[in-house]
Chain A
Amino acid sequence: QKEVEQNSGPLSVPEGAIASLNCTYSDRGSQSFFWYRQYSGKSPELIMFIYSNGDKEDGRFTAQLNKASQYVSLLIRDSQPSDSATYLCAVTFKAAGNKLTFGGGTRVLVKP
């Protein structure tokens, strides 16, 4: 069973602070890593993807990948109340035909 684990939260963050979300995965053969944002009652929205070790920045978002330690993280800088949502980590496992496997999500609450 290929697994993707996330802390369910909620992660409470003051407005303007950095939110740090972590995701661990069970398969060293994993190849592609994605972060989706999901507002309550809405569908997931792709916000970041990363394929190589290291950092990838896009606006206020930074994805960090460490394949040796089997984790991927998402940093949200200058957090805004509009960032309050559930963040889903998704991973492709080669042994599972490269389909996306999602974690359960981390709920983030940004307090003004």
Chain B
Amino acid sequence: EAEVAQSPRYKITEKSQAVAFWCDPISGHATLYWYRQILGQGPELLVQFQDESVVDDSQLPKDRFSAERLKGVDSTLKIQPAELGDSAMYLCASSSRTSVYEQYFGPGTRLTVT
């Protein structure tokens, strides 16, 4: 069964350091999403890509976060510098052109900032 791949699964970093997460969506899925989920809360959308273009990044803290999907396939989310409040689960999801709202999530990256 096709799955969304993410790496790393866990990341511990010190504040002020840079950190990057990688996501490979389900093959053929044109839409890719990055979410942040704080413990005890629902996921919050950070950025949405349609192919290689950003569709929505209204909740992305652009002073420290950046995201790219250069060839419209895999994607990288970067934080620089990391802050203590960035500790959370970072989830990647993808959806197909025909079922845009049916999103399938990867295993996530658990980030701890110390």
Contacts and interface: CB of A to CB of B under 8 A. Distances in A.
Q: How large is the interface on A (under 10, 10 to 19, 20 to 34, 35 or more residues)?
A: 20 to 34
A97 B56 contact: yes
Given A99-B48, A99-B56, A45 B105 contact: yes
Contacts of B89: 43
Nearest to B100: A98
A4 B42 contact: yes
Interface residues of B, number: 21
* Best-surrounded residue of A36, A43, A100 (most CB of chain B within 10 A): A43
A92 interface: yes
Given A32-B101, A49-B101, A92-B101, A43 B45 contact: no
B7 to A, nearest CB: 14
B106 interface: yes
Contact of B107 (A4, A43, A105): A43
Contacts of B14: none
Interface string A58-92: 00000000000000000000000000000010101
Contact of B104 (A4, A46, A99, A103): A46
Interface of A: 4, 8, 32, 34, 36, 41-46, 49, 88, 90, 92, 97-100, 102-105
